[in-house]
Amino acid sequence: MSWKIVTLATAATLGVCSCGNKNADKMEITKAPWGQLGEQEVALYTLTNGNGMMVKVATYGGTVTELRTPDRSGVAGNVALGFPSLEGYRSEAYLKACPYFGATIGRYGNRIGRARFALDGQEYALAANDGANHLHGGARGFDKVVWDARPLQDSGAVGLLLSYLSKDGEEGYPGNLQVEVAYRLTKDNELKISYRATTDKPTLCNLTNHTYFNLAAGKAPDVLGHELTILADRYTEVGEGLIPTGRLPEVAGTPFDFREPHAIGAHIGEAHEQLQHGHGYDHNWVLNASEGKLSLAATAYEPVSGRAMEVYTTEPGVQLYSGNFLDGSLTGADSVPFAHRYGFCLETQHFPDSPNQPAFPTTVLRPEETYVSETIYKFSTK
């Protein structure tokens, strides 16, 4: 995996017209100041293509703050939960709720039980920021740092390369971890997210993106009517605190069976022990595809707007989170409160608590290795 870096001036004029829609291949990137975090400047980059799709990414947290894509009538709407200013992500209410809207998550996406793990005979203690457990990289994970950024140019895409050095001992993790995350918007209405990381000591690495989607773009009170498919025969059973038990039950005959499309809300209210642990869906599905091979993992469809989304990934799992703790206390760019289950996440990942579950795919990264991962969110209408 390699990056092609361009100057912002070049990237801002990408694209040449071809037959058909003369704007179809037009790709642009612009940069604007977005505030300060201490002495660090925060920037907001806007990626656009010629089909009416737009993605905004902030260097604070590597955060997708806005994602606009057309409905079946060609009217673009924002399908991602976020805020128009840095202050929204730094407010007391947001930091208390900590929903991770649109953020890059690391070093470890999801939970690590008891906030500790052993590696090569040494035990490491992490921040216990989710009860007794460690969640999404700790008290100051990758979602709360300012990333370096440079524009990217590829054939048929415009993008942004974010980089960050997580120093040895940060949030309790060993090793200096050099991380790069590339966001690309393609002419085919794909948001491609590519990850790469190296370390100088054995460590853990499990990166993901935490965008909340609402394909109705504010035209529905919640996401329970979205029709979802997840290509997985099994899911990761959890106990108290949403920490895996180690068992991987079959989805057949349970509310976790999304092998055929049905509404997110169809079974969410059932008296199932696993749903009660998560207050709804907050679980990892074990994808059927081979780990490391870019494959279709999930699809979502919102019948009123006609918007559809396909999720492709090289990861072995995907976490469905149904916005169970959204409560209307946070309000986004369009002055719409983010009410209960107003957004859902499909977080591609390795399994929760993998460092303490030897049977799960490993999340250990060693100095002679390079962590690579890719996820694509592709948008269309029907």
- Indicate which residues carry an active-site annotation: 210, 347
Going by C-alpha positions, the residue among 69, 101, 66, 99 that lies closest to residue 84 is 66
Q: What is the 3-state secondary structure (H, E, C) of the chain?
A: CCCCECCHHHHCCCCCCCCCCCCCCCCEEEEEEEEEECCEEEEEEEEECCCCCEEEEECECCEEEEEEEECCCCCEEECECCCCCHHHHHCHHHHHHCCCCCCEECCECCEEHHHEEEECCEEEECCCCECCEEECCCCCCHHHCECEEEEEEECCEEEEEEEEEECCCHHHCCCCEEEEEEEEEECCCEEEEEEEEEECCCEECECEECCCECCCCCCCCCCCCCEEEECEEEECCECHHHCECCCCCECCCCCCCCCCCEECCCCCCCCCHHHHHHCCCEEEEEECCCCCCCEEEEEEECCCCCEEEEEEECCCEEEEECCCCCCCCCECCCCCECCCCCCEEEEEECCCCHHHCCCCCCCEECCCCCEEEEEEEEEEEC
Q: Which residues of 338-350 are buried (b: 16+ CB within 10 A; e: fewer)?
A: bebbbbbbbbbbb
How far, in whole angstroms, is CA 316 from its chain's centroid? 15
What the block records as the tokens of 109 is 């996406």
